[in-house]
């Protein structure tokens, strides 16, 4: 039956309406059957919402007028709205301030590059993990997003973008595996042939290291890519910047990562945000080499985007020295210079803490 999250009371209405975007395709089929219609009408409805991105029931041209009237009376396509869009003049990155139905906000980022266009989705309002270097973590956790609120972000960006979206990453606000069920439901919408039809290997879910969820992700056999934010190569440093390390230290995290890669046969990505004097020394690089050599992985080195007091981006000379230690490793190494830092849209900079619930 339908998830409880699929129902939401609108303050402007006397009765409760079904929020269709919070339904999976199978739930939508069940729901239209409960109204006395055949299941294929649910599939059509799902396609109109996600594949075609219509904003009004009247645009659903293969549905009867009577059915459309029934939909208008019992359900809603409304879920989130765009409050503001900022675009970097130098880099072309766009940041979307998305207003949720309860007045809270999240941020979504579109990153256009030469051969691809990546959308960075948020999964929570704020974050509970309190990573010391991350603006989102300073907000605390306000609430989880529903699958519909997550997928709706992509609808907004797709309407705005003048080019096809090629890649989707769950690296916006929140810890995706702290909202595991809704993130997987949203990913299934993004991947569905009746939804956005994005290939599973073009969808990446990131985690700060929630070990039970990494193992569950492996056990459930999801084909989406997995990225793990490592950000330090010794427990003392990692605990300083990522309190989650107190619960699952690096050794436990590596075991879970190996479990995932060995069971799934899929490569994972270690994300390593490079911060001056914290995790950018030659010893840090040598320990990272040993860690990553244990796992079927690649490593993304991300020079820090300055957000929190006390953390700085290393000099290019120091970055290059760090990378030299990793040369010849049996895993791939890339350097990801985050885009959109001039509009606070780069990695670690997303935050809506200063925005009131009234906008």
Q: What is the pLDDT of residues 258-275, one digit of tens each?
A: 999 999 999 999 999 999
For residue 278, pLDDT over 70 is answered with yes
Burial 116-150 (b: 16+ CB within 10 A, else e): ebbbbbbbbbbbebebbbbbbbbbebbebbbbbbb
Tokens of 221: 């056999």
Summarize pLDDT for 215-224 with one digit per residue, the tens: 999 999 999 9
Catalytic residues: 107, 347
For residue 342, pLDDT over 70 is answered with no
Summarize pLDDT for 280-295 with one digit per residue, the tens: 999 999 999 999 999 9
One domain for residues 67 and 180: no
Is 0.85 surpassed by the pTM of this model?
yes
One domain for residues 258 and 137: yes
Spatial distance between the Cα atoms of 95 and 165, rounded to a whole number of angstroms? 15
One domain for residues 134 and 117: yes
Which of 24, 48, 76 terminates a domain? The answer is: 76
For residue 341, pLDDT over 60 is answered with no
Comparison of pLDDT for 12 and 33, the residue scoring more:
33
One domain for residues 129 and 221: yes
Q: Which domain holds residue 284?
A: 80-343
Q: What is the pLDDT of residue 156?
A: 96
Which of 46, 76, 106 terminates a domain? The answer is: 76
For residue 306, pLDDT over 90 is answered with no
Q: What is the pLDDT of residue 291?
A: 96
One domain for residues 97 and 189: yes
Domain of 178, CATH number, reads: 3.20.20.70
Comparison of pLDDT for 238 and 133, the residue scoring more:
238
Which residues have C-beta within 8 Å of that of residue 245, sequence separation ≥ 6?
209, 232, 235, 238, 239
Q: What is the pLDDT of residue 151?
A: 98
Summarize pLDDT for 124-134 with one digit per residue, the tens: 999 999 998 88
Spatial distance between the Cα atoms of 36 and 32, rounded to a whole number of angstroms? 7
One domain for residues 40 and 170: no
Summarize pLDDT for 92-134 with one digit per residue, the tens: 899 999 999 999 999 999 999 888 999 999 999 999 999 988 8
- Rg of the chain over Cα atoms, rounded to whole angstroms, equals 21
Residue 266 counted as domain residue: yes
Domain count, the chain: 2
For residue 10, pLDDT over 80 is answered with no
40-44, 233-237, 313-317, 345-349: least confidently modelled range: 345-349
Q: What is the pLDDT of residue 339?
A: 55
CB atoms within 10 A of CB 319: 17
* Mean per-residue pLDDT, 139-152: 96
Q: Which uninterrupted H or E stretch holds 270?
A: strand 268-274
In the three-class reduction of DSSP (H, G, I as helix; E, B as strand; rest coil), residue 55 is classed as: coil
Give Cα separations from 18 to 164, 210, 351 (angstroms).
30, 32, 30
Residue 228 counted as domain residue: yes
313 near 304, Cβ under 8 Å?
yes
Ordered DSSP codes for 311-348: --PPPHHHHHHHHHHHTT-SSEEEE---S-GGGT-STT
Task: Spell out the long-range contacts of 100-106 with Cβ–Cβ below 8 A and sequence spacing 24 or more.
Answer: 100/125, 100/145, 100/149, 101/8, 101/10, 102/357, 103/357, 103/358, 103/359, 104/142, 104/143, 104/352, 104/357, 105/352, 105/355, 105/359, 106/145, 106/149, 106/153, 106/172, 106/173, 106/174, 106/352
Spatial distance between the Cα atoms of 354 and 123, rounded to a whole number of angstroms? 19
Nearest partner of 195 among 35, 80, 44, 75, judged by Cα:
44
Determine the angle formed by the axes of helices 316-326 and 282-292, rounding to 10 degrees. 40
Query: How is residue 20 annotated by DSSP?
Result: G
Q: What is the pLDDT of residue 307?
A: 72
Q: Which uninterrupted H or E stretch holds 257?
A: helix 250-264
């Amino acid at each position: 039956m339908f998830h409880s999250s699929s129902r939401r009371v609108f303050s402007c209405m006397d009765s409760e309406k079904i929020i269709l975007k919070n339904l999976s395709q199978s739930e939508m089929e069940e729901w239209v059957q409960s109204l006395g219609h055949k299941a294929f009408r649910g599939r059509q409805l799902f396609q109109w919402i996600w594949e075609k991105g219509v904003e009004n029931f009247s645009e659903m041209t293969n549905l009867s007028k009577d059915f459309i009237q029934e939909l208008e009376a019992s359900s809603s396509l409304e879920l989130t709205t765009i409050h503001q869009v900022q675009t970097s003049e130098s880099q072309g990155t766009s940041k979307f301030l998305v207003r949720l139905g309860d007045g809270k906000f999240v941020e979504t980022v579109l990153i256009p590059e030469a051969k691809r266009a990546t959308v960075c989705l948020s999964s929570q309002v704020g974050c509970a993990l309190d990573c010391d270097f991350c603006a989102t973590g300073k907000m605390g956790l306000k609430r989880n997003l529903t699958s519909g609120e997550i997928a709706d972000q992509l609808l907004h960006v797709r309407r705005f973008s003048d080019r096809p979206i090629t890649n989707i990453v769950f690296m916006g606000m929140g810890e995706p595996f702290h909202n595991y069920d809704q993130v997987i439901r949203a990913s299934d919408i993004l991947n569905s042939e009746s939804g956005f039809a994005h290939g599973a290997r073009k969808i990446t879910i990131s985690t700060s290291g929630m070990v039970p969820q990494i193992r569950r992700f492996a056990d459930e056999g999801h084909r989406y890519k997995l990225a793990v934010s490592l950000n330090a190569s010794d427990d003392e440093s990692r605990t300083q910047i990522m309190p989650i390390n107190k619960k699952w230290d690096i050794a436990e995290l590596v075991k879970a990562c190996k479990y995932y890669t060995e069971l799934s046969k899929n490569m994972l990505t270690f994300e390593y945000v490079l911060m001056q004097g914290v995790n950018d020394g030659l010893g840090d690089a040598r320990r990272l080499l040993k860690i990553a050599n244990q796992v079927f992985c690649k490593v993304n080195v991300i020079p820090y985007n300055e957000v929190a007091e006390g953390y700085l981006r290393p000099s290019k000379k120091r970055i290059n020295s760090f990378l030299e230690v990793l040369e010849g490793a049996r895993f791939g190494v890339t350097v990801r210079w985050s885009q959109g830092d001039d509009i606070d849209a780069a990695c670690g900079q997303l935050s809506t803490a200063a925005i009131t619930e009234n906008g």
